[in-house]
């Protein structure tokens, strides 16, 4: 796919990995619309030439449908939105409402793919974001692991139905983004403990994941695939 001149929508595109994707697509010459819930985060898009902000919630089907209809036809859809809070901790001690709420990420993805499908060009591509816990569940990460596994299974199952539109997934490792609330020394200590044992012993950067997402968009011979950008988190 030629990114220059392509019309792209990046949901969750105003912060973290999504913001890095917005920036890289705009730098490649795409016409980018970055969607997000937070009015404060939308301000970041004003600093990116070629990108426009759109306030939208991936769980608001009517809002999503209106956005896709407005911007059709669509060449690129990237969904990096988390959908909300994610539950962590031992499953047998976990509040089940919290576990269920973690699936808002999946519902946001299914909403986006379902509602955008009719507005995608035949040469278009969709990329979703899961995470390494989908295939390696560390202690306390069962909710995140289960949701990530569902995202990857969803993409493999739906990709044949969407063809010739392509659908892929990028699975990041521990990435230094605003998703982690710790600040200062506490943040540095947390990231070092989470990644110090890896083959690449550091947290990843949002731009490194964004580069992989753009790869899945450009490569016309990929669909139903999952690309790992995790510093070796899946290695023994």
Delimit the domains of the chain by residue range: 7-179+206-228
Spatial separation of the C-alpha atoms in residues 66 and 71, rounded to whole Å = 9
* pLDDT classification of 228: cutoffs 50, 70, 90: very high
Question: Which DSSP letter does residue 134 get?
Answer: G
116, pLDDT greater than 80 = yes
- Its CATH architecture, for the domain 7-179+206-228, is 3-Layer(aba) Sandwich (3.40)
Q: Average pLDDT of 119-126?
A: 98
Task: Note the pLDDT of residue 183.
Answer: 82
Reported as a single tens digit per residue, the pLDDT across 154-208 is 999 999 999 999 999 999 999 999 878 788 888 899 899 999 999 999 999 999 9
Question: If you count them, how many residues does the chain have?
Answer: 236
Q: Average pLDDT of 108-112?
A: 98
Structure tokens at 209: 């994941």
Reported as a single tens digit per residue, the pLDDT across 70-98 is 999 999 999 999 988 889 999 999 999 99
What are the backbone angles phi and psi of residue 52, rounded to the nearest 5°?
-125, 140
Spatial separation of the C-alpha atoms in residues 8 and 74, rounded to whole Å = 6
Query: CB of 71 within 8 A of CB of 90?
Result: no
Give the list of residues 6+ apart from residue 8 with CB closer than 8 angstroms, or none. Answer: 25, 30, 31, 32, 33, 74, 75, 76, 77, 78
> Half-sphere exposure (CA, 13 Å, Cβ side) for 109?
26
Spatial separation of the C-alpha atoms in residues 39 and 42, rounded to whole Å = 5
Query: CB of 225 within 8 A of CB of 216?
Result: yes
Structure tokens at 155: 């993409």
24, pLDDT greater than 80 = yes
User: How many Cβ atoms are within 10 Å of 24's Cβ, its own excluded?
Assistant: 20
């Amino acid at each position: 796919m030629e990114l220059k001149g392509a019309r792209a929508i990046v949901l969750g595109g105003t912060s973290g990995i999504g913001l890095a994707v917005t920036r890289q697509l705009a730098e490649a010459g795409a016409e980018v619309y970055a969607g997000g819930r937070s009015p404060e985060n939308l301000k970041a898009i004003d600093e990116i030439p070629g990108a426009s902000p759109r306030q939208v919630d991936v769980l608001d089907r009517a809002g999503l449908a209106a956005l896709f209809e407005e911007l059709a036809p669509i060449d690129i859809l990237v969904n990096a939105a988390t959908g909300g809070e994610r539950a962590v901790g031992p499953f047998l001690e976990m509040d089940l409402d919290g576990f269920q709420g973690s699936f808002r990420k999946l519902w946001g993805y299914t909403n986006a793919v379902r509602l955008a499908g009719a507005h995608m060009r035949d040469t278009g591509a969709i990329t979703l974001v899961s995470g390494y816990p989908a295939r390696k569940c560390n202690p306390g990460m069962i909710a995140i692991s289960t949701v990530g596994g569902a995202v990857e299974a969803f993409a493999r199952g739906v990709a044949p139905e969407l063809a010739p539109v392509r659908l892929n997934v990028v699975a990041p490792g521990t990435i230094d983004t605003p998703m982690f609330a710790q600040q200062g020394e506490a943040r540095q200590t947390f990231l070092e403990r989470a990644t110090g044992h890896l083959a690449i012993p550091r947290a990843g950067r949002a731009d490194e994941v964004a580069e992989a997402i753009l790869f899945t968009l450009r490569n016309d011979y990929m669909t139903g695939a999952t690309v790992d950008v995790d510093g070796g988190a899946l290695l023994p």
